[in-house]
Homo-oligomer: A and B are copies of this chain.
Amino acid sequence: MMMPDSWFIEEFEGRVGALSFHVDEVLFEKKSMYQNVKVVKNSFFGNVMLLDDLVMLTDKDEFFYHDMLVHVPMACADSPENVLIVGGGDGGSVREMLKHPGVRRVVLCEIDGMVIEAAREFFPALSSYLDDGRVEVVVADGIEYVRAHKNEFDCICIDSTDPIGPAVGLFSTEFYGNIRDALTDRGAMSAQTESPAWSLEQFSSIVHNMRQSFGNAYPYLVPIPCYPSGLWSCTLCFKQDRNPAEDFDRKRTELVSEKCRYYNTDIHRACFTLPNFVKQAL
Contacts and interface: CB of A to CB of B under 8 A. Distances in A.
Interface stretch (A2-10, A87-95, A137-145): A2-10
Contacts of A266: 273-274
A223 interface: yes
Contacts of A260: 276
Interface in A263-279: 263-264, 266-267, 269-270, 273-277, 279
Given A4-B4, A223-B231, A229-B230, A9 B17 contact: yes
Contact of A277 (B15, B20, B45, B261): B261
A247 B9 CA distance: 44
Copy number in this complex? Answer: 2
Contacts of A261: 275-277
A42 B15 CA distance: 7
Contacts of A198: 225
**Interface residue tally on A, bucketed by range:** 35 or more
A269 B273 contact: yes
A16 interface: yes
Interface string A20-49: 111010000000000000000011110000
A6 to B, nearest CB: 10
10 contacts: A15-B21, A15-B22, A16-B22, A16-B44, A17-B17, A63-B277, A223-B230, A224-B230, A261-B277, A269-B270
Interface of A: 3-4, 7, 9, 12-17, 19-22, 24, 42-45, 61, 63-64, 197-198, 221, 223-225, 229-231, 257, 260-264, 266-267, 269-270, 273-277, 279
Given A223-B229, A223-B230, 19 more contacts: A3-B3, A7-B9, A13-B44, A15-B21, A15-B22, A15-B43, A15-B44, A16-B20, A16-B22, A20-B20, A223-B231, A225-B230, A229-B230, A261-B277, A262-B276, A264-B279, A266-B273, A269-B273, A270-B270
